[in-house]
A and B are shown apart, each in its own frame.
Chain A
Amino acid sequence: MSSVLYDTPGPRAKRRNVVYTIGFLAVLGLAAWWMLSAMADKNQLAVEKWSPFVTDSRVWTTYLLPGLTETLKAAVLSILIALPLGALLGIGRLSDHRWVRVPVGTVVEFFRAIPVLLLMMFASGIYREYTTISSDFRPLYAVVTGLVLYNASVIAEVVRAGVLSLPRGQGDAAEALGMRKGQTMMYVLLPQAVTVMLPALVSQLVVIVKDTALGGAMLGFTELLSQNRQITANYGANTIATFTVIALIFIVINALLTHLAGRLERRLRQGKKSAAVNIPAQPGATEVKSDAISGA
């Protein structure tokens, strides 16, 4: 344990740290105890509210797993459509032609400025009024549309930053070889930028998985979070238990994704000279680069 922020603790500092630790743990413990006892008072810790998740496998097979499938389906579809679209938009924004650069830039900024929930509600309204998409798929379509529009513009920025982060010499060298602009982008710049962008893209996946829950709360998309209605209707309004379990599932999936992003980044940093770009396009995309000073 060493950090540039504080001296290596001596005997007195060590004693003080022990006191702080005990005090801090006591405060945490008190808060936890107060919460649990209040919940127990209100009968929220009763065994029958929590036991279905352990003893009754049907909770999982009938509600949670199908919901999780929908969540992942929406997330995977969104990223797969948003990736090429975002790449196109990002390249468009780097174009030498003003008439390409400006409109593409406007589109990207527009969709980045609007809450993804509003995009989903708008898409849902459009599909309901102007198409005959069956109600089984409409919420999925609306959610995916909203997520694609938003995330494509975020990815566009990631791509742009990735390409701009490459050494100028790469583009110049390609030009010197006589490659056309399109070739330079396809064969020289993008392949290198993709590896640099990968961690930011995986982090964006976490954002997408989390945002699918919006469709469940507001649009009747039958994803993981929305399953709480049916579970609580069957097991005696055990809302707290249900929400806890659902939150844990989300946390596990996203923690895995975040972990993957971290590993990718470390691997890339070892393999390449250029570090991964850090594009804080939105909370979730920020990954800390080095532990130079925080030390922990």
Chain B
Amino acid sequence: MKLRRTPAAAAAAVVLALTATACGGGSDSGSNGDKINVGIKFDQPGLGLKTPDGKYAGFDVDVARYVAKELGYAEDKINFKQAPSAERENLIKNGDVKFVVASYSINDKRKKEVDFAGPYFLAHQDLLVRADDSSITKVEDLNSKKLCSVTGSTSAQNVKDKLAPKADLQQLGGYSECLTGLENKAVDALTTDDSILAGYASQKEHAGKFKLAGLRMSDEKYGIGVKKGDDDLRGKINKALEKMVSDGTWEKLVKQHFGPSGYKYEPAPKVEN
């Protein structure tokens, strides 16, 4: 009688080996060796975008590079990690990244979990509408409109709570999805921070199709998230941000990334210590 034990044993060994390697993966320090991990967005044109050649581009990305350089890390020592909105606090708390530059607006709820350096940019919640649409001139107009925003975003919450509770709000997984709806006239406006909208509006594929409505419906101060209580790092980042404004880099970067859309950005906000 031939006992068929070998296949089972082999399968068990393979499984064990695989689970073992899978478990061995994670390193949980913000900077491993001489590299630094920085959290950015991967899917926001103009702010943080992973481009087809595998590089990263955008205002937030360049700010992160400048700050990292001031902290003593050359460009090839920066390791960018994706920081989706819902994950930003966790990334910082777990020490997965040293700091997060990802259209991260400073508010009290977030301040309970992380500390912020900056602000380095002042954005407002605004609307993106079709270029030929001039029916929205004030916030009240929204109540009869179809709006689109990203599921769980503060912009969506703002619309529901105070701006236009009667508006028909569609919440989708990403901005591109909303943009398709806007292009096809299934929705009338896409609402979120004007900096993000400007990034989309200035893409070459969208030239002339969309415009910003220019309603400043809220103030969003973008900060750089760092671990709670890490005042040393926060101080260093603040110094770097101040230097970035004073040496003209800030102005140059803003022009480079937001210029093509005709977006009227605010002057550099003062860093709060």
| A interface list, Cβ under 8 A from B | 42-44, 48, 56, 58-59, 61-63, 77, 80-81, 83-84, 128, 132-137, 186-187, 191, 217, 220, 222, 228-230, 232-237, 239-240
**New contact pairs (5) apart from A81-B15, A187-B4, A230-B43, CB-CB < 8 Å:** A62-B54, A80-B11, A229-B43, A236-B203, A237-B200
Q: List 6 A-B contacts (CB under 8 A).
A: A58-B52, A229-B176, A232-B177, A234-B45, A237-B200, A239-B180
Q: Is the CB of A233 within 8 A of B44?
A: yes
> Which residues from B are CB-within-8-Å of A230?
42-43, 49-50
Residue on B nearest A76 in the bound complex, by CB: B18
User: Given that A58-B52, A83-B11 are known contacts, is A135 also in contact with B94, CB under 8 Å in the complex?
Assistant: yes
User: Given that A136-B81, A239-B180, A240-B180 are known contacts, is A234 also in contact with B52, CB under 8 Å in the complex?
Assistant: yes
In the assembled complex, the Cα of A191 lies from the Cα of B3 at a distance in Å of: 10
> Which residues from B are CB-within-8-Å of A239?
176-177, 179-180
User: Given that A128-B90, A220-B87 are known contacts, is A237 also in contact with B26, CB under 8 Å in the complex?
Assistant: no
Residue on B nearest A194 in the bound complex, by CB: B7
> Which residues from A are CB-within-8-Å of B15?
80-81, 83-84
In this assembly, does B137 line the interface, its C-beta being within 8 Å of a C-beta of chain A? no
> Which residues from B are CB-within-8-Å of A48?
205
In this assembly, does B218 line the interface, its C-beta being within 8 Å of a C-beta of chain A? no
Q: Is the CB of B184 within 8 A of A42?
A: yes
Interface size on B, residues (CB 8 A): 50
| B interface list, Cβ under 8 A from A | 1, 3-5, 8, 11-12, 14-15, 18-19, 22, 25-28, 42-45, 49-54, 81-82, 84, 86-87, 90-91, 94, 96, 173-177, 179-180, 183-185, 200, 203-206
> Which residues from B are CB-within-8-Å of A187?
1, 3-4
Q: Is the CB of B174 within 8 A of A134?
A: no
Q: Is the CB of B86 within 8 A of A237?
A: no
User: Given that A135-B91, A191-B4 are known contacts, is A236 also in contact with B52, CB under 8 Å in the complex?
Assistant: no
| Cβ-closest 5 pairs across A and B | A236-B205, A232-B176, A134-B26, A58-B52, A237-B179
Q: Is the CB of A237 within 8 A of B22?
A: no
> Which residues from A are CB-within-8-Å of B86?
220
User: Given that A84-B15, A229-B173 are known contacts, is A235 also in contact with B94, CB under 8 Å in the complex?
Assistant: no
